[in-house]
Amino acid sequence: MAKDPKFTAGETAKLGWYIARMAKRGIAGETVHQGDLERRVDRIIDGAREREARQAADAAAAAKAARKAAAKAKNRK
C-alpha cells in the first residue's frame, strides 16, 4: 500500500468520525453495508495525497524562484 500522507487536523477528525461509524456498523453485523463510508475515507486520503503533491510542487517552484533571484542579485554586484 502507498505511504499515507500527513493529515490536517480536519482530515484527522473526519477520518476518526467515519472510522467510528464503520466500527458501529460493524458491531451491528457483518452483512451491514459500509461502502459509502469506505468511499468517504478513500476520498479524504486521496485529497490529502493531492494536497501534499500540490504543496511539494509549490515549494519546488518557490525554491527555484529563490535560486534564480539569488543568482540574478549576485550577477548585478
User: In the predicted model, is pLDDT for residue 55 greater than 90?
Assistant: yes
The Cα-based distances of 73 to 53, 61, 64, 69 in angstroms read 30, 18, 14, 6
User: In the predicted model, is pLDDT for residue 1 greater than 60?
Assistant: no
Tell me the pLDDT tens digit for each residue of 15-53.
999 999 999 999 999 899 999 999 999 999 999 999 999
Phi/psi for 32 (5° steps) reads: -75, 135
Provide mean pLDDT across the span 61-76. 88
32 CB-near residues (< 8 Å, 6+ apart)? 25, 26
What is the pLDDT at residue 21? 96
